[in-house]
A and B are shown apart, each in its own frame.
Chain A
Amino acid sequence: MKTIVEVKSLVKNFPIGTGIFTALNGVNIEFSEGEFAGLVGPSGSGKTTLLNIIGSLDIPSEGEVIVLNKSVGKLSPRQAAQLRKEELGFIFQNYNLLPVYTVFENVEFPLLLLKMNTEERKKRVMETLEWVGLTEKVNSRPSQLSGGECQRVAIARAMVKRPLLVLADEPTANLDSANSHNILQTMEKLNTELKTTFIFATHDEKVIGYLRRIIRLKDGKIVEDKAVD
């Protein structure tokens, strides 16, 4: 399998007052294409920080993170934005849908940034909404949807540009059990069918139950990295 993320001796420090807080301390890890992996650990373990750096939202203090052959620390803000725009998908705990736009338009938005033509955009959006089972809600606004439906729109928005890597931070935190399973099954299906790599940051047992690889973090270090059958 092709390696799409390489994390080498990663250290991330944050200044706190006059001192320094080390959020990640010597992390080494690789992710291959098609993985369905999770960074698991309690609050403050460094999982969101690692997700941030992999997502080119932040840069390493030391070490190197290579995402899709690009060293995150060496990217300019514009190049980092370009990487996120073209190759990465994000799923947030709070869905973060744009309230004035319809389901269709929310999903269409990343394609507009890629300047895709209208016809292909429509085709791609409808196809993606079909994957997540929301074709009948294309004209609904986020306020007219349930939490589960909103998160499925967010998944569709992350998937519509066919990213190689999707980063999901606590995607089920605001959902009930039934909706959580539904969402996770949808993501699992997309991972299997499209070979999209999913990396989660979570401490939700429901999510952990779906992961095929679990990386446990504690105090900024990897304490366990195991594959799950």
Chain B
Amino acid sequence: MIKFLFDGLMRDKSRSLLPIIVVALGVMMTVFLQSYMNGVMGDSIEASANFTTGHVKVMTRAYNQNISQMPNDMALLGVDTLLQKLNKQYPDVTWAERIQFAGLLDAPDSKGHTRSQGNVTGMGISLLKSNEEIDRMNLRNNLVSGRFPNKPDEILLSDQLFHKMNLKLGDEVTLISSSMYGDMAMYNFHVSGTLHFGINVLDRGTMIADISDVRSALNMENAAGEILGFFRGKRYDDKMAITYADNFNKQYATSKDKYAPEMLPLSDMNNMGFFVAYDNEVQKIIIMVFIIAMAVVLWNAGLIGGLRRYGEFGLRLAIGESKHEIYRSLVAESLLVGIIGSLIGVLLGLFISYFMEKYGIDTSEMMKDSTFMLPTVLRAHITATTYFIGFIPGIISTVIGAMLAGIGIYKRQTANLFKELES
């Protein structure tokens, strides 16, 4: 019977081709939009993670409470031991220690007097040991002039500040800040390169130095303001991050020490929770929109098809099919259409998403003065969900459409079949 219905469906193009095209188009758009939104939102989350939050971040409780002030006097101590513990406990996470600081940068003239000064917010990251942080923060694309530090006491400066202070590559500058113990810290660096971030707040005055130099400058031996954790080879996973943070924090739950380490998931930092929730919800919204839109179209297509098949349904009732059986066969047909349309739509959607993931759309020119921390190349991102998400609206909408359109079958009076079939 199923083969019989399938053959009829395939031969009658008016009731198979149009619904299949509608479903395939809707599913294709669902798949593409899901992967695109996933890519853009995910990339934005990743950009934020790479730059400031990590997927998870370990700080002291006190540091976390005053994080906006970059309170290095509340930094983590005994970082080597803590890192060993973290690496052992979370082998699927890469850990990166960082120090954030603020200060005044002073450029002396040939006599040692101040030539120019500028406020800086700085970051101490691992620059000399490996390129991991350079790649993670995508700094290669931001390098405007010079090179990355390759020996101690070299720094990168934001290009805007560099020009404002009339500096030349190789010039010596002095960082004036406060050490971890609250006393004044002064330390000389040489500018090896300049960066342009395209983000106003960063371009105004950013300084990046190797973390060991920053430790020396701020008297922070074996200390770090933050240890950022990144899931190895994976994008941000909120459930995983929350689980890791909960497990870690349980170990210190009974401690009253305000300098005890505390792990936070990305969604608990910098208002990223909204972004993560939005990223999750947007998929549901896309599915709902397509389910409703396609169901309405397919309902109408089903009604038109139902009118065309009025005689067929009448005959089937007359020769012994019950209304329920006919209704069920209509739903079965729609399921078939839904599956075929969804398969085609998923393949098309994946095809487009694949190219969008591989090549992306470069918006760097349009976004060069943007103040948002957004990725400059908009890419789709295909995940496991991308492979099946299209089937949800594809099948549900076709079945709902057919169920609504098929209600008319129950309104048929068998007593009128002879008249109807002979008119």
Contact = CB atoms under 8 A, between A and B. Distances in A.
Interface of A: 48, 51-52, 55, 57-58, 77-78, 80-86, 88-90, 92-94, 96, 98, 100-101, 105, 108-110, 112-113, 115, 157, 169-170, 173
A65 B419 CA distance: 21
B422 A92 contact: yes
B204 interface: no
A93 B321 contact: no
Interface in B297-331: 311-312, 314-315, 317-325
A57 B422 CA distance: 15
B4 A57 contact: no
A93 B415 contact: no
B421 A84 contact: no
27 contacts: A52-B417, A55-B318, A57-B318, A57-B414, A57-B418, A81-B320, A83-B320, A85-B319, A90-B318, A90-B319, A93-B421, A94-B311, A94-B422, A96-B311, A96-B314, A96-B421, A98-B312, A98-B315, A101-B4, A101-B8, A101-B11, A108-B4, A109-B4, A109-B319, A110-B320, A112-B1, A169-B422
Nearest to B415: A58
Interface of B: 1, 4, 7-8, 11-12, 311-312, 314-315, 317-325, 414-415, 417-419, 421-422
A86 B312 contact: no
B1 A100 contact: no
Contacts of B4: 101, 105, 108-109, 112
Contacts of B323: 77
Contacts of B414: 57-58, 77, 80
Contacts of A110: 319-320
Q: Which residue among A83, A94, A96, A101 has the maximum number of chain B CB atoms within 10 Å of its CB?
A: A96
A169 B315 CA distance: 13
A120 to B, nearest CB: 15
B321 to A, nearest CB: 6
Given A78-B322, A98-B312, A113-B320, A105 B415 contact: no
Pairs A-B, 5 closest by C-beta atoms: A85-B320, A58-B415, A84-B320, A81-B322, A100-B11
Contacts of B419: 48
Nearest to A59: B415
Contacts of A52: 415, 417-418
Given A57-B417, A78-B324, A85-B319, 15 more contacts: A57-B414, A58-B414, A77-B323, A80-B414, A81-B317, A83-B320, A84-B319, A84-B320, A86-B320, A92-B315, A94-B421, A100-B12, A113-B319, A113-B321, A170-B422
Nearest to A87: B320
Nearest to A81: B322
A101 B7 contact: yes
Contacts of B324: 78
Given A57-B414, A57-B417, A100-B12, A105 B318 contact: no
B337 to A, nearest CB: 15
Contacts of A51: 418
Contacts of A55: 318
Nearest to B326: A81
Contacts of A173: 422
A57 B320 CA distance: 10
Pick the most buried of A51, A110, A115: most chain B CB atoms within 10 A of its CB.
A110
A115 B319 CA distance: 14
| Most B CB within 10 A of own CB, among A94, A98, A110, A115 | A98
A109 B317 CA distance: 12
Contact of B415 (A57, A84, A92, A169): A57
Contacts of B417: 52, 57
A45 to B, nearest CB: 14
